[in-house]
Amino acid sequence: MRRIIIHAGFHKTGTTSLQQTLRANRAALRPDIRLVLRPSMTALCETARAYSRSREDYDLGLVKYEAALLAETLQEEDANTILITSEDLSGHMPGRHGLHGYGATPHLMRALSVAFKAAAPDDELTFFFTTRAADPWLRSCYTQHLQASRMVWDEEDYLKRFKTSADHDKTLDLIKREISDHALVSTSLEEHIERPLGPAEALLDQLNLSPECRAVLKAGVLRNAALSDEIKAELLALNRSNLEPTALRKAKRAFLDEAKDAA
């Protein structure tokens, strides 16, 4: 029986490192493992994000449609395991577009399960989630918002406002109710961060890899470096400025590039 593993989140739980490592080892994982990253399912990820904002049945229908298209494109795949990974399948990160949590995610996982089961009824479907301790997760999300949006709250204010969004276990319980016919596996970033391949090890543990294959796998290049308090303070000041959106984006990009060069 072929296996389909959907790694759908959560944001800021080591997903970038995980995906970079999988991408770096794509050839080594073939032919038994087929990797599907965001560029191969852009429309599905965008419809999932749209539904997380609108919560409209029409947008959820588009998620099912795009998921079915993806499932159909994978029907001729010879790999024993299809590994699909993008945190955008869970919708937008809390804090964007007025979202205070992952309320849409259980419905999105249900939509994915319905679409894949209809297109590939004989496949074994597993949902996989990575989590993170509440405080570091919230702080990481805040840093991301400083860079990618016009976040104007200071860090402690953000932590208070979005405290409930960090309850990943509660969200997972809700997801489990929606996909009760399928396996749900979760693991924390902290459990795997010190392992040779970092959080990617958690997902590789779910695969039936030979010791020989596992031995040749290498870590991907980590790009998400932590920002200093000084850099975060400057980004906050820029976000609080009167700059127009386009000018603000350019100013933040120039500042971050300068800070990177000076590091």
First-to-final CA distance of the chain: 50
pLDDT at 263: 62
Q: What is the mean pLDDT of each run of 10 residues along the chain (263 residues)?
A: 96 95 94 96 98 98 97 92 98 94 98 95 96 97 95 96 96 97 96 93 91 91 79 96 96 91 71
Q: pTM (2 decimals)?
A: 0.94
pLDDT at 63: 98
pLDDT at 223: 64
DSSP state, 30? T
Residue in 56, 134, 141 with CA at minimum distance from that of residue 92 = 141
**Segments making up each domain of the chain, as ranges:** 3-133+167-224
**Pairwise CA distance, residues 114 & 76, whole Å:** 20
**Pairwise CA distance, residues 149 & 152, whole Å:** 9
Class of domain 3-133+167-224: alpha beta
pLDDT at 90: 98
